[in-house]
Chain A
Amino acid sequence: SQKIEQNSEALNIQEGKTATLTCNYTNYSPAYLQWYRQDPGRGPVFLLLIRENEKEKRKERLKVTFDTTLKQSLFHITASQPADSATYLCALGAYGGYQKVTFGTGTKLQVIP
């Protein structure tokens, strides 16, 4: 069955450093991969989309890589700030049909001042 793995342990990082979160998947050939941010008690908010034929995407301090050979995506936040503290979800999707999107369980990031 399809499986998405995100580190369930919280990631603590010092302010100003680069945070790197990992999303691994098995038994899946996604057409695209998304990253969302979720704050406590709130709904997820879309951050970035990367398609299967793209290696890297950037948006301001965010960078996402997608390695379909390793079946892995890395999500980087450079110059991290305490306001970046949140849970980050990856989601894998396929085109066609109902565009099924499968979410990971998320990794909690804590940026320490």
Chain B
Amino acid sequence: DADVTQTPRNRITKTGKRIMLECSQTKGHDRMYWYRQDPGLGLRLIYYSFDVKDINKGEISDGYSVSRQAQAKFSLSLESAIPNQTALYFCATRAGQGSTEAFFGQGTRLTVV
């Protein structure tokens, strides 16, 4: 089983719909991240969390919200999806202070029509 699991892997949704992307990890890491990847723009940070009680906005948080339900679970929600949120979304984890390697999930390809 993958260390970082994202569901769903693919999703097509309509403009205005609320959608949730889920991420769970078995690494035991405290730090979890949500990124989106667009062609030519690279990976951009949406939200990050250092522990269950710590949630922080990243570079492009507008239109998104997150929930850290447990150390192992970090969900990303699009409250009202719009077409320019069509992208590849990745969840990642890192261990605590001093560790820098990120472990990524396999990604969720989201299409908003």
Contacts and interface: CB of A to CB of B under 8 A. Distances in A.
A binds B: yes
Interface of A: 4, 8, 32, 34, 36, 41-46, 49, 89, 91, 93, 98-101, 103-106
A45 B104 contact: yes
A8 B100 contact: no
B34 to A, nearest CB: 12
Interface of B: 4, 31, 35, 40-45, 48, 50, 56, 90, 92, 94, 97, 100-107, 109
Given A43-B4, A43-B90, A46-B101, A105 B40 contact: yes
A100 B48 CA distance: 10
A4 B44 CA distance: 13
Contact of B42 (A45, A93, A100, A104): A104
A40 B77 CA distance: 24
Q: Secondary structure of the B side of the interface? A: strand
Nearest to B105: A43
Contacts of B90: 43-44
Contacts of A42: 106-107
Contacts of B56: 98
Contact of A49 (B97, B100, B106): B100
B104 A106 contact: no
19 contacts: A8-B40, A36-B102, A41-B109, A43-B4, A43-B90, A43-B92, A43-B105, A43-B107, A44-B43, A44-B90, A44-B102, A46-B101, A46-B102, A98-B48, A98-B50, A99-B97, A100-B45, A103-B43, A103-B44
